[in-house]
Each structure stands twice: as structure tokens, then as C-alpha cells.
Amino acid sequence: MIRTLATGSAVLPVLGTPALAAGDYPFFSLYNTDIVVAIAFVLFLGVLGYFGVHRIILGLLDKRADGIRSDLDEARKLREEAQGVLASYERKQREVAEQVERIVETARREAADAAEDARRDIDASFERRLKAAEDQIQSAEDEALRSVRNRAVNVAIAAAGDVIGKQLKAEDANRLIDEGIGVVESRLH
């Protein structure tokens, strides 16, 4: 079939050449270069057909088409794989963003709790210090009152001693000493 096409395609251009119009040379003369080129072309195509060059060319073209097809398949697979990886990374990015959001929220909550605990600790410390200060003030007041009472007692005793010493006679003093010794003995036994 290729030989028929090659022969027909080589003859058709020759039929429409100006050689037919020129009347100097006969149509199939070897002096007509168009005829010589057409014959050489037909012989060239025949040699190519005889040695199966068309099969080799078609085989190479088929091989090339198969290579391109496999490259396209591989590219399609790589694209699908890349889309899967991209989807995976996008999913991981969303998960990381959610995790970061949870961590930030937890940190805020813990910071608020820590601030509340610190405020309660400060309030409790303030209350303890205030209570300690009030206790110290009360203790100082009690000490001052005791000191004033002791001083008043000492002053009263000294004044009473002076008054008694000036007004008490020796017999009354001996009688009071004996009574005091009796009271002490009764309390000790």
C-alpha cells in the first residue's frame, strides 16, 4: 500500500509540470530533470520500503508515543501524589494551628488562674500581716497597761508604805507581821 501511495504521489506532481506544456522534449525523456527527479524519488521510496525503513520509523514513532504516554502517566501519578502530599500538609497545618490555638488558650487560662492565685495569696498575706500588726498593737497596749498598772501598784504600795510607816505603831506592825506569816503558812500547807 505504501508503494502504491509512494508511486502515485511521485507521478501526480510530474503530470502537472510545465514539461507537458513544453513541446521540445518528449514527456519521458531523461533530459527532463523533473522526470529524472521523480524516478529517483520513486526508486528512493522503493528502497526505503524494501528495507522496511517505514516499519523502523513507525516503530520508533510508536516507541516515542509509548515513552510520551508513560511520561504522561508518570506525570499524572506524580501530580496526584503531590496533591495528596499538599492535602496532607494542609491538614497538618490546620491541626498545628488548632493545637497552637489550644495551647494559647490553655496558657491564657493558666495565666488567669495564676493571677487569681497570686491575688488571693497577696490578700491572705495582707490579712496575716494586718492580723500580726493588730496582735502586736494589742500586745503593746496590754504591755503598756500592765506597765502602767505595775507602776500604779508600786506607787500605791510605796505611798501606802509611807502612810503606814508614819501612822503605824510598833505593836500594830508586829501583829500584822504575825498575821501575814499565818496566812502564808495556811496557804503553803
Residue 28 lies in a domain: yes
* Residue 17 per-residue DSSP state: S
Q: How many CB atoms lie within 10 A of CB 14?
A: 19
pLDDT recorded at residue 26: 65
pLDDT at 22 over 70: no
> Over the chain, what is the mean pLDDT?
84
Q: How many CB atoms lie within 10 A of CB 8?
A: 10
How many domains in the chain? 1
Question: Domain limits at 49?
Answer: 2-75
* Rounded average pLDDT over 160-181: 77
**Nine cell digits for residue 62:** 510508536
The backbone torsions φ and ψ at residue 57, rounded to the nearest 5 degrees and listed phi first, read: -65, -45
pLDDT recorded at residue 146: 86
Residue 138 lies in a domain: no
Question: Is there a contact between 45 and 6 (Cβ–Cβ < 8 Å)?
Answer: yes
With cut-offs at 50, 70 and 90, classify the pLDDT of residue 78: very high
pLDDT recorded at residue 170: 74
Residue 11 lies in a domain: yes
